[in-house]
Amino acid sequence: MPTEIVEIETHPTTPAAAAEGHVCGCQPDEAEGGLDVRTIPHAVRHAAVRGAFGAIPVGGTMVLVAPHRPMPLLAELTADANGALTVEFIVEEPGECHVRLARTAGAV
């Protein structure tokens, strides 16, 4: 059975907002946590994200920052979580995509 990635919402920023810094208010707070994969070597990015997401408890979230829409990675995470994952695109700019990942139920 193919997995399905559900996109919840996107908050695009304008070039003016980007010039002033990120101003849409969707940045993760300290309790949420985040992972900027742009600093991780490409060869180990998927494994690093899968490991970080695997440590998130049911009801927990993390924000992933990637250089593009990480669709293959999101498919892997959906499979890992047995569909117990919601995906929310919160920032999409050239070279930067912020995605909030939430574990919605325990894996079966």
Give tens-digit pLDDT for 81-103.
998 999 999 999 999 999 999 99
Q: What is the pLDDT of residues 44-72, one digit of tens each?
A: 999 999 999 999 999 999 999 999 999 99
In a domain, 1, yes or no: no
In a domain, 85, yes or no: yes
In a domain, 3, yes or no: no
In a domain, 22, yes or no: yes
> Which parts of the chain are beta strand (E)?
34-36, 61-66, 85-93, 96-103
Q: State how many domains the chain has.
A: 1
In a domain, 76, yes or no: yes
43 pLDDT exceeds 50? yes
> Which parts of 17-95 are beta strand (E)?
34-36, 61-66, 85-93
Which residue range is the domain that position 68 belongs to? 15-103
In a domain, 32, yes or no: yes
- From CA 12, how far away is CA 98, in angstroms rounded? 10
In a domain, 6, yes or no: no
In a domain, 4, yes or no: no
The CATH number covering residue 36 comes to: 3.30.110
| Helix, strand, or coil (residue 61) | strand
Instruction: Give the confidence band of 4 by pLDDT, cuts at 50, 70, 90.
Output: very low
Q: What are phi and psi of 33, to 5 degrees?
A: 80, 160
Higher pLDDT residue, 33 or 73?
73
* Predicted pLDDT of residue 83: 85
